[in-house]
């Protein structure tokens, strides 16, 4: 578990100020690194949410010593309101969301998120819900697949890739990460040095699509803000431009147009050089913070 480091912990704690005490929500528990930092930093209680039952099992072991100061819910972070209502919490003292796929999910080959090995093409963050990536690829039309790869992967060769995948699956289902990566690499034109693997954007796009990562993100940001006490703060860490753009525009609207929050980060904060050297995942992290201005109404 030591290899799975939470991202931008110091920055998150600086904005959230758990030393004030109170109830904080970790909307993306993962292996419990951020929750542990909040508890060690002074939070009276942490409500932790995750949709990955396997991650929850590991986090319970890590956080067992904190007893009833930790309350874990197996749920999607977009269901924040329902999770808090079930616990009788009208308002909380801080909310943290570390979006996207976790290091554990990426590093566990059989989860199917990574093309570093050859594993079943799953990609579900919650393996108890919905079809796998392999199952979705058997049925999706070429046009829709091209749109998914273009919109969620920002891949300019999306139509070429979609065409290649549909042709291949018509002969034999695409069942593993290795098969998918090889098909994408063959479909993308090669012109000299490539900074990232040609399969990277397609894998990102399919993962976002399978898990509905962008669906309801704006509503989540609004819900999280409205559950904060006056003076309490929301911190969101995003890992790709599509997520970050939604968070930025939603917070900006809540600040400038609706006067509900004050945005604390004019530009997103990024991880320092020391952290990115220790944890390469932190290189793409962008942190935004906002403070609730008005009291929560009953």
* Amino acid 34: pLDDT: 96
| 84-101 pLDDT per residue, tens | 999 999 999 999 999 977
Sign of CA dihedral 61, 63, 66, 68: negative
Domain ranges of the chain: 9-100+214-292, 114-211
* Radius of gyration over every alpha carbon of the chain, rounded to an integer in angstroms: 20
Q: What angle do CA 247, 250, 254 make, to 5 degrees?
A: 135
Q: Is the pLDDT of residue 296 over 80?
A: no
Of 46-50, 88-92, 110-114, 129-133, least confident by mean pLDDT is 110-114
pTM score: 0.89
* Amino acid 110: pLDDT: 76
* Amino acid 130: pLDDT: 87
| 224-242 pLDDT per residue, tens | 999 999 999 999 999 999 9
Please check whether residue 92 is in contact with residue 104, taking contact to mean a CB–CB distance below 8 angstroms.
no
Please check whether residue 253 is in contact with residue 247, taking contact to mean a CB–CB distance below 8 angstroms.
no
| 16-61 pLDDT per residue, tens | 999 999 999 999 999 999 999 999 999 999 999 999 998 899 999 9
CATH code for the structural domain at 9-100+214-292: 3.40.50.150
* Amino acid 11: pLDDT: 97
Mean pLDDT of the chain: 92
Q: Which of 1-5, 58-62, 143-147 has the highest mean pLDDT?
A: 143-147
Q: Is the pLDDT of residue 149 over 60?
A: yes
128 pLDDT tier (thresholds 50, 70, 90): confident
CATH code for the structural domain at 114-211: 1.10.150.170
* Amino acid 117: pLDDT: 84
CA–CA dist 234, 228 (Å, integer): 8
* Amino acid 111: pLDDT: 81
- Selection from 226, 290, 224 nearest residue 79 by Cα: 224
| 156-196 pLDDT per residue, tens | 999 999 999 999 999 999 999 999 999 999 999 877 667 78
* Amino acid 174: pLDDT: 96
* Amino acid 295: pLDDT: 55
Q: Where are the alpha helices (DSSP H) in 95-232?
A: 103-107, 133-139, 142-153, 158-171, 177-187, 200-211, 217-226
């Amino acid at each position: 578990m030591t290899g799975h480091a939470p991202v931008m912990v110091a920055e998150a704690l600086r904005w959230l100020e758990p030393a004030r005490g109170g109830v904080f929500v970790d909307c993306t528990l993962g292996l419990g690194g951020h929750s542990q930092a909040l508890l060690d930093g002074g939070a009276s209680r942490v409500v932790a949410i995750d949709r990955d039952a396997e991650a929850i099992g590991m986090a319970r072991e890590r956080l067992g010593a904190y007893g009833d100061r930790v309350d874990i819910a197996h749920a999607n972070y977009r269901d924040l309101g329902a999770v808090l209502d079930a616990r009788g919490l009208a308002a909380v003292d801080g909310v943290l969301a570390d979006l996207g796929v976790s290091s554990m999910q990426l590093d566990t080959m059989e989860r199917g998120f990574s093309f570093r090995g050859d594993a079943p093409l799953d990609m579900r963050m919650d393996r108890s819900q919905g079809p796998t990536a392999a199952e979705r690829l058997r049925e999706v039309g070429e046009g829709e697949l091209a749109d998914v790869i273009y919109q969620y992967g920002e891949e300019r060769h999306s139509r070429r890739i979609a065409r290649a995948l549909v042709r291949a699956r018509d002969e034999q289902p695409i069942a593993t990460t290795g098969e998918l990566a090889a098909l994408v690499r063959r479909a993308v034109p090669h012109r000299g040095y490539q900074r990232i693997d040609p399969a990277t954007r397609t894998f990102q796009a399919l993962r976002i699509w399978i898990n509905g990562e962008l669906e309801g993100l704006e509503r989540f940001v609004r819900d999280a803000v409205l559950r904060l006490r006056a003076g309490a703060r929301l911190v969101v860490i995003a890992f790709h431009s599509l997520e970050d753009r939604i968070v930025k525009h939603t917070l900006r609207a809540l600040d400038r147009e609706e006067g509900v929050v004050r945005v604390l980060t004019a530009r997103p904060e990024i991880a320092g050089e020391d952290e990115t050297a220790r944890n390469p995942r932190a290189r793409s992290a962008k942190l935004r913070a906002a403070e609730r201005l008005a009291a929560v109404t009953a």
